[in-house]
Amino acid sequence: MNRTLEVIAGSDLVERPRRSRWPARLDYLQSASGLVLALFMWAHMGFVSSILFGKNALWVVARTFEGYYFFGHRYPVIVSIAAAVVLALVIGHAALAVRKFPINYRQFRTFRGHMAMMRHGDTSLWFAQVVTGFALFFLASVHLYIIMSNPGKIGPYESSFRVWDQHLWPLYLLLLLAVEFHGGIGLYRLSVKWNWFGGSNPDEARHGLKVLKWAITVFFLAIGLATLATFIKIGITAHPIYGERYVPTWQQDALPGHGGQAAPVAGQPATTSQAGGAQ
């Protein structure tokens, strides 16, 4: 930068190690992982909420992700792998984001004081993001671990049993709230951070983004709550047949005895579901 410095200080000093590029990469990765996770959450919500269109819809979605429609057999390990990837992303994202958290009580108190003093929307939203992010690290990890270890058990009944009979609905309720707030705020922040939709009037754009952010959050919360309610309802009504797998209606028709062959899991003998309440 300064040629005279080179003369005075010699090249050792001038050619000092350049500043690490890692802070830039980490900053970028934090945003990128957040974006991927947020987009994943939108898609995930889309898939899960298929239950709102009926049990069959969810069944089809679940089988699709097990590769049933591609290979003719279910490969739940695909779900495990996907969950593992997402879990890795969550851990990575959390590790990157935690760098920005208050690192001690003094900082925590300072920020809380600052927030109270400023009464400034985006500042308060950040704190909400810290809190939800912190919560998500545990909630999402538990959820992902369960999915990873029970990959084949996604379905209208299977999921409902998990939600209701296995008492996981409080986890899912908190997870839903945390995810929707965290992701919505995160996406909004990403777009202002990188000035994605700034256009010719960034202030107006930001205002628009904020309205959109809340609209999206409300939309997904509504869908999410409806979905969770549906699972709870199924869980309650299907309580008597706890443990049974769901068989889509067309297969019920095709097979006598109301059970029939569900989609076979690759490498396992096809099981026949017993009719619920046959005893």
* Binding-site ranges for other proteins (CB under 8 A): 1-2, 18-28, 99-100, 102, 107, 110-111, 114-120, 122-123, 126, 189, 192-195, 198, 202, 206
Q: Please provide residue 74's backbone torsions phi and psi, each rounded to the nearest 5 degrees.
A: -85, 135
What are the structure tokens assigned to 89, written together?
């992303």
* CB 97 to other proteins: min, Å: 10
Nearer to other proteins, 129 or 273 (CB): 129
Residue 220 vs residues 41, 54, 81, 122, 175: alpha-carbon distances, Å: 10, 18, 26, 21, 13
Residue 44 or 193 with smaller CB distance to other proteins = 193
Closer Cβ to other proteins, 54 or 102, answer by number: 102
Q: What angle do CA 31, 32, 34 make, to 5 degrees?
A: 65
Q: Identify which of residues 198 and 264 has a Cβ nearer to other proteins in the complex.
A: 198
Closest CA to 242 of 150, 156, 161: 161
Minimum CB distance to other proteins, residue 245 (Å): 46
Taking the complex as a whole, how short is the minimal distance between the CB of residue 137 and other proteins, in angstroms? Answer: 18
CA dist 23 and 133 (Å) reads 21
As a whole number of angstroms, the distance between CA 164 and CA 167 comes to: 5
- Which lies closer to other proteins via its Cβ, residue 92 or residue 260? 92
Q: Are 273 and 243 in contact (CB under 8 A)?
A: no
Cα distance from N-terminal residue to C-terminal residue, the chain = 85
Give least dist CB 194 to other proteins, A.
6
